[in-house]
Amino acid sequence: MRSRFFTFISLLISFLLGGLLVYLLLMETPLFQKGVYNYVNNGVVSCDDEVTIDETGISLSVGKVYDSVVMIENIQGTTLDSTGSGFIYKKDDQYGYIMTNQHVVAGASSIVVVMSNNEEVEGRVLGSDPYLDLAVVRIPVDAVYAVATLGNSDGTNLGDTIFTVGAPLGYEYRGSITRGTMSGKNRLVTVDVSTTADYVMKVLQVDAAVNRGNSGGPLCNINGEVIGVISLKLVDDDIEGMGFAIPIEDAMTYVDSLEKGEAIERPLMGVTMANVSDTYLLLQNGITLDENISSGVVVISVSGGAEMAGLQKGDVIVKMNDEVVPNAAYLKYFLFKHAPGDVVTVTYYRDGAEHQTDITLTKSEN
């Protein structure tokens, strides 16, 4: 009996001593440390600062821009033809000024602007341009509830959070927010202006959902600043999970002219042209190319600066200055970076030999 008693006492003392040792070890090195992480010999390293999670999401940023966003109804005759979005980028003593896409207002006999508080006012298109896909619409200043803050897309990095505000699919879904990330910058995307795939635009690429009706709405950074103008014109029906926007700094370059209703002044080279791939058009004009030429722009006829510089029918333009010209859409894009009076160096092929010439650009009358 006494042996059992001493055995019990020994076990109890061992248990107490073991518990005391564990307690002392835990006091020396806490098991859970708030916000503190260490090396664990697995290659993962983190900082010693406290980690916090922002539960507010982007709601505060959305609030900064939300009331500046409008829905635009394109009325043709007495019928609602289409809807889009826009945002108020400035106001003066009399008017508020809305930026949107040219294709949102194209062909409209009248414009109805639906504000964030559901008030409807008549809008007037001051100016628009199909190559920029931009337009400016004016409304009475009394209807303006808020003006968007403009940012700069250059300050946004790949992977940064962005969001859009707009009216996808029309009136019922106006004021919708979509969130995503900046997926790409300085993308060159081929679009249709007067004919198929006849122009190239430099755009921002995002993965936020962009639907019909979002066109013309703002693309915003995490601070609620507008960094781009959404354009559904740039999205093919087969493309999913990709949206595009015109950088706001590019749009603002032309806004003064659009507000005044002035045509955007663009230069002319003095050529009519076709792509190397336009076999039927080349045959119609009696032009046969060297089989080694696979890309470029074929000169169909010349006038003005191009004629004075010595270009001829059948020449194949492959470069403008240092920019490679794969087709006519890219040639227009590079050309429209210049102004009338500028001189550009054109590299071209004639009879299998490479040549260069300088062309003085003239002013377009159209």
- Is 133 assigned a catalytic role? yes
Instruction: Using DSSP, state whether 102 is helix, strand or coil.
Output: helix
What H or E segment, with its residue span, contains residue 7?
Answer: helix 2-28
What is the structure's pLDDT at 46? Answer: 37
- The boundaries of every CATH 2.40.10.120 domain in the chain are 55-264
Cβ pair 195, 237 in contact under 8 A: no
- The boundaries of every CATH 2.30.42.10 domain in the chain are 267-363
For the chain (length 366 residues), average pLDDT per consecutive 10?
Answer: 55 60 49 35 38 61 96 94 95 97 95 96 96 96 96 93 91 90 90 70 90 92 96 62 90 94 91 93 92 92 95 96 93 92 96 95 82
- CA 254/CA 365 separation, integer angstroms: 18
pTM of the model: 0.76
What is the structure's pLDDT at 101? Answer: 96
> Residue 233's closest CA among 249, 251, 248, 214?
214
CB neighbour list of residue 21: distance below 8 Å, 6 or more residues apart? none
Q: What is the DSSP string of 89-122?
A: EEE-SSEEEEEE-HHHHTT-SEEEEE-TTS-EEE
Residue with tokens 């809807």: 83
What would you measure as the largest C-alpha separation in the chain, in angstroms? 123
What is the structure's pLDDT at 89? Answer: 98
Cβ pair 244, 204 in contact under 8 A: yes
In the set 129, 133, 278, 315, the catalytic residue is 133
In the set 103, 128, 129, 176, the catalytic residue is 103
- CA 106/CA 174 separation, integer angstroms: 20
Question: According to the CATH classification, is domain 267-363 in 3.40.50.970?
Answer: no
Q: Which CATH architecture has domain 55-264?
A: Beta Barrel (2.40)
- Is 215 assigned a catalytic role? yes
Residue at 181: amino acid letter: T
